[in-house]
Amino acid sequence: MASLRQIRSRIRSVQNSKQIMRAMQLVSGSKLKRAQDRLVQVRSVMQFLDALLERVLIAQASGSSAKKPLTHPLCQVRPSGPSALVVFTSDAGLCGSYNTNLVHLAESHLRRDAAAETQLIFVGRRGYRYITKRGYHATEAYIDLAGRPNAAKVEVIGQSIVDRFLSGQVSSVSVLYSKFVSALVYQPVVQQFLPISLAGRQEAAGQRSERPADPRDTDYIFEPSAEKVFADLLPRWALIKFRLILLEAFTSEHSARMIAMRNATDNAQELLDALTTQRNRIRQAAITKELSEIVGTAEALK
């Protein structure tokens, strides 16, 4: 059995660890709040661009060139060629199973597409270290963001991926990241990023263009033309979409770290309670032993 001195030393050590984890929980909560605010803003921008893209498609569908669908190099489907997978993980640890779920999903995706040549692009140190140690080659790696979405760096990364697709180095680009649902829920997903699919949007736009005009709808005039606006809009849409994905990943990371630190703080408190009970029992046993010795000595002296 541990001595009273050893238990007191463990209690002090657990108390110090608990204070550190509690502080990290508060810091992660603050970062999560700021990340959520940025995410809400970018989601609003994305909704605006989606509505504008839909309006462009409706204008094109109802115009004189309705039989000629809008096209863009970012929408070009290539039947063959290597694909790219962008893996978003964290640079730091202490975020529970956040990185584990992502790298396991990445491994599953790579095993399923083992016959195809997949170029791996990493955003985050943890996924880069784990997957490259298992024999996979990293085409690009960005491991210095530290959960802080610097707008200039994000645009550089997004533009690099878009240029890789436009130059024909890859036939498609998929993104693997953790989708933020709420402060307590995040879900690892794999989605296609490029080429951009407009089939469903164009079909919906064609159906809307055939309906009677609603007087409540805003009437847009595109200059010089809807085709020119579409050509300028789609690259901006792709970059904003990439920024949204990265913000989803970073917000999920801060949420995972806050939850992990809260669980660690609760576990430390449970351990403190158990150690305190053990300390009290040892102290009580020592006091009882001393009293017994005193009583025994007094009886012996009579």
* Per-residue pLDDT at 55: 84
Beta bridge partners, 186, equal 180
Measured on CA atoms in the order 120, 125, 130, 135, is the torsion positive or negative?
A: positive
The model's pLDDT over 43-95, given as tens digits with 9 standing for 90+, comes to 999 999 988 888 888 777 666 444 567 788 898 888 888 899 999 999 988 89
Query: Which residue type occupies 293?
Result: E
The model's pTM: 0.85
C-alpha gyration radius of the chain: 29
Asked if residue 193 lies in contact with residue 173, where contact means CB atoms within 8 angstroms, the answer is yes
The model's pLDDT over 235-285, given as tens digits with 9 standing for 90+, comes to 999 999 999 999 999 999 999 999 999 999 999 999 999 999 998 888 888
Nearest one of 42, 56, 34 to 241, comparing CA atoms = 42
216-228: burial string, b at 16+ Cβ within 10 Å, e else: eeeeeeeeeebbe
Residue 107 CB coordination number (10 Å): 14
Helix or strand holding residue 180 (H, E): strand 172-182
Which domains, ranges and CATH numbers included, belong to the chain? 4-32+259-301 (1.10.287.80), 40-257 (3.40.1380.10)
3-class state of residue 178 by DSSP: strand
